[in-house]
């Protein structure tokens, strides 16, 4: 359990929501960094607190880092945040798993005790007001993208948009993180805060890179349709446009392997997978880093893959420039990447999709859709609506 013998009793009466929200309030009060997450198909929820100055970096060679959590923007030229594990807690078991500074743990426990004495209540209100739902601007952007593809400027591009919602004053990020965790077992669930990033919450289905022991994994995930629980997954059919979209992402990964002359990899897929309220096509690629004598494959592929064609386009340079010119907003950490680095389970870094940025009482949801020559602007807008509903459906509960 968390705490000394004198403090166990007060902590034992706190719920997971109270501990996580207490940790978030603690970090906001003292200007610390926080990451909370749960890996797909896992029952363990982790909280990491970094009591340093939330430093930013141009590059983060992950194999050389102490245990921590990386959070990177979409734009490669922007700085990345790396949160070090000054204090780490397994929230599921309510125990400290890594505490490098006794005084930080004592300070945190005192904060939890104070919060508990102040209030034992947890808000259940989650109403919100959508600020803007107009489809016209995004449909115009998709039409421009289709025209550019027809002109031969690129083969695929992934324009995105955001939707702002006004959150209830009692909105509790910790409570909604735990609702996401309970609802989307096969997604990576995250809550990240630092002075450099604002607060982000998300449920992403897409692995960017993962290293477990000597095994490296990356995934091509593309093609989207609504999931009907009453219909067997084996009965799912995909359009030529969706199959082609997924093939672009797989080809991008294979071309990245070719750039480093790596030919020894296993390919599994594509197959249909469930991701919350959606279905996608997925192909997994694995490499034995020991057999290929490539111990730094994680860092190398992270640099080569991001941003993938699933979140930017193909070819990369021309599709990226189109987005910079026509999206007319800053994606910030949407479609960047995030995840735990060098913990007991290895390194697991995911693309930051199905996410929401929270700034005081305003939430900003982000989503994009893969556009090819056969895309229909209104259908692509509907796809972004479905993706945003991954979080909105939980906020409504």
pLDDT of residue 304: 96
Kindly state whether residue 176 falls inside one of the protein's structural domains.
yes
- Residue 132: which pLDDT band, with cuts at 50, 70 and 90? low
Decide which of 115 and 108 is more confident: 108
156 within 8 A of 371, measured Cβ to Cβ:
yes
Same domain flag for 207 and 329: yes
CATH of the domain at 220: 3.60.120.10
Same domain flag for 141 and 57: no
Decide which of 8 and 76 is more confident: 76
Q: How far apart are CA 22 and CA 159, in angstroms?
A: 37
The tally of CA atoms less than 13 A away on the side-chain side of residue 73 is 15
Same domain flag for 179 and 310: yes
What's the whole-number average pLDDT of the chain?
A: 91
Same domain flag for 327 and 247: yes
Q: How far apart are CA 154 and CA 311, in angstroms?
A: 14
- Measuring CA to CA, which residue among 174, 164, 161 is closest to residue 37? 174
Same domain flag for 148 and 295: yes
pLDDT of residue 95: 87
Q: How far apart are CA 18 and CA 172, in angstroms?
A: 10
What integer is the mean pLDDT of 119-146? 75
Domain region containing 67: 8-118
| Least confident residue range of 93-107, 271-285, 362-376 | 93-107
Q: Is the pLDDT reported for residue 159 higher than 50?
A: yes
Among 118, 148, 174, the domain boundary falls at 118
- Residue 283: which pLDDT band, with cuts at 50, 70 and 90? very high
Q: Is the pLDDT reported for residue 114 higher than 90?
A: no
Provide, rounded to the nearest whole percent, the portion of the chain with pLDDT above 70: 92
390: left (phi over 0), alpha (psi -120 to 50) or beta: alpha
Q: Which two tokens stand for residue 44?
A: 């363990």
Same domain flag for 110 and 141: no
Among 118, 153, 186, the domain boundary falls at 118
pLDDT of residue 53: 74
What integer is the mean pLDDT of 388-397? 86
Q: How far apart are CA 179 and CA 177, in angstroms?
A: 5
Number of structural domains, the chain? 2
Among 118, 142, 175, the domain boundary falls at 118
Peptide bond into 315 cis (omega under 30): yes
The tally of CA atoms less than 13 A away on the side-chain side of residue 157 is 28
Q: How far apart are CA 295 and CA 243, in angstroms?
A: 33
Give φ, ψ of 343 to 5 degrees: -95, -170
Same domain flag for 100 and 148: no
Give φ, ψ of 179 to 5 degrees: -65, -45
pLDDT of residue 220: 94
Same domain flag for 375 and 282: yes
What integer is the mean pLDDT of 188-200? 96
Q: Is the pLDDT reported for residue 108 higher than 60?
A: yes
Q: List Cα–Cα distances, 87 to 47, 109, 159, 242, 377, in angstroms.
A: 8, 12, 38, 43, 47
Q: Which two tokens stand for residue 99?
A: 């505490």
Same domain flag for 205 and 75: no
Q: List Cα–Cα distances, 10 to 97, 384, 391, in angstroms.
A: 19, 44, 32
What integer is the mean pLDDT of 163-169? 90
- Residue 11: which pLDDT band, with cuts at 50, 70 and 90? low
Q: Is the pLDDT reported for residue 207 higher than 90?
A: yes
Q: How far apart are CA 276 and CA 262, in angstroms?
A: 34
- Residue 9: which pLDDT band, with cuts at 50, 70 and 90? very low
- Measuring CA to CA, which residue among 38, 49, 185, 39 is closest to residue 107? 49
Longest dimension (CA), the chain: 71
Same domain flag for 20 and 136: no
Q: How far apart are CA 304 and CA 321, in angstroms?
A: 17
Same domain flag for 109 and 185: no
Q: Which two tokens stand for residue 363?
A: 């939430």
- Residue 5: which pLDDT band, with cuts at 50, 70 and 90? very low
């Amino acid at each position: 359990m968390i705490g000394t013998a004198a403090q166990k009793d007060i902590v034992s009466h706190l719920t997971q929501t109270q501990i996580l929200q207490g940790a978030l309030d603690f970090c906001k009060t003292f200007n610390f960094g926080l990451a909370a997450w749960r890996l797909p198909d896992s029952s363990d929820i982790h909280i990491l607190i970094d009591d340093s100055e939330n430093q930013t970096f141009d590059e983060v060679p992950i194999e050389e880092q102490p245990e921590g959590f990386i959070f990177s923007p979409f734009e490669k030229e922007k700085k990345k945040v790396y949160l070090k594990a000054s204090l780490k807690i397994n929230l599921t078991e309510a125990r400290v798993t890594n505490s490098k500074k006794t005084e930080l743990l004592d300070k945190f426990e005192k904060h939890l005790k104070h919060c508990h004495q102040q209030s034992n209540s947890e808000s259940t209100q989650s109403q919100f007001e959508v600020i803007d739902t107009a489809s016209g601007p995004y449909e115009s952007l998709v039409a421009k993208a289709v025209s550019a593809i027809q002109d031969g400027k690129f083969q695929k591009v992934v324009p995105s948009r955001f939707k702002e919602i006004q959150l209830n004053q009692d909105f509790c990020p910790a409570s909604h993180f735990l609702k996401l965790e309970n609802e989307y077992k096969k997604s990576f669930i995250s809550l990240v805060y630092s002075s450099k990033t604002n607060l982000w919450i998300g449920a992403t289905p897409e692995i960017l890179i993962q290293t477990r022991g000597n095994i490296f994994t990356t995934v091509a995930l593309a093609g989207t349709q609504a999931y009907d629980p009453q219909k067997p997954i084996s009965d799912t059919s995909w359009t030529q446009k969706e199959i082609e979209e997924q093939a672009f992402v797989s080809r991008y990964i294979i071309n990245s392997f070719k750039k480093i002359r790596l030919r020894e990899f296993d390919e599994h897929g594509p197959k249909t997978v469930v991701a919350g309220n959606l279905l996608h096509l997925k192909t997994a690629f694995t490499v034995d880093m020991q057999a290929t004598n490539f111990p730094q494959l994680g860092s190398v592929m992270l640099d080569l893959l991001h941003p993938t064609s699933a979140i930017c386009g193909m070819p990369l340079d021309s599709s990226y420039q189109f987005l910079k010119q026509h999206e007319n907003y800053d994606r910030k950490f949407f479609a960047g990447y995030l995840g735990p680095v060098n913990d007991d389970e290895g390194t697991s870094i995911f693309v930051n999709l199905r996410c929401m940025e929270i700034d005081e009482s305003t939430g900003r949801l982000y989503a994009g859709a893969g556009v090819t020559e056969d895309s229909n602007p209104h259908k692509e807008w509907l796809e972004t609506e479905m993706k945003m509903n991954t979080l909105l459906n939980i906020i409504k509960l």
